[in-house]
Each structure stands twice: as C-alpha cells, then as structure tokens.
Amino acid sequence: MTQRLHLVFGGELVDPAQNAFKKVDDIHIVGMFPDYASAYDAWKTWAQKTVDNAHMRYYIAHLHRLRDEETAASPTEELG
C-alpha cells in the first residue's frame, strides 16, 4: 500500500505576493501527516493562529508526489 505523506510548514514571507521566506532558518515545521485530512486540519489551525500577520503563510507539501516508486533511485539516494 502506498503512503500519502504530507508535510505542513510555514513562516514569514518577504512579500505577501510571493512565496519567498524572509528567514529560511525560521521556517516552522508543523509536522508530517499520513493523509490530507489531518494535514489540512493542522494547516488550518496554524493559518488561523497567524491570520493577523499578512506576511505569514502555511503550506501543505504533498511529499508522496515527489517520489515515483516505479522509477529507479538516483545515485545520491543510493549513497545512504
């Protein structure tokens, strides 16, 4: 069975019209979630907590989309 992992993270943006973080070291990693519903709940909680700051944004990254199980591993992945 395929896992559908999701990462929820956020931070302060340089400009609210763009997706560049002000300080990458300050990115808040909310956590990893096994399904979209739980990731969405976490995203919504943190998005609502920071609603008064127009520069704050939270995102859901669909990590399962970054990996194709049918494709051979890259050379750097084989190092580990």
Q: What is d(CA 55, CA 18) in angstroms, rounded to the nearest whole number?
A: 10
Q: What is d(CA 30, CA 57) in angstroms, rounded to the nearest whole number?
A: 12
pLDDT digits (tens, 9 = 90+) for 39-73: 999 999 999 999 999 999 999 999 877 766 666 65
Where do the domains of the chain lie? 6-79
Instruction: Look up the pTM and report it.
Output: 0.78
Residue 68 burial (C-beta neighbours within 10 Å; 0-12, 13-18, 19+)? exposed
Kindly state which CATH superfamily the domain 6-79 is placed in.
Answer: Uncharacterised protein PF13773, DUF4170 (3.30.70.2400)
Q: Which residues sit opposite 6 in a β-bridge?
A: 33, 62
pLDDT, position 21: 95
pLDDT digits (tens, 9 = 90+) for 12-37: 999 999 989 999 999 999 999 999 99
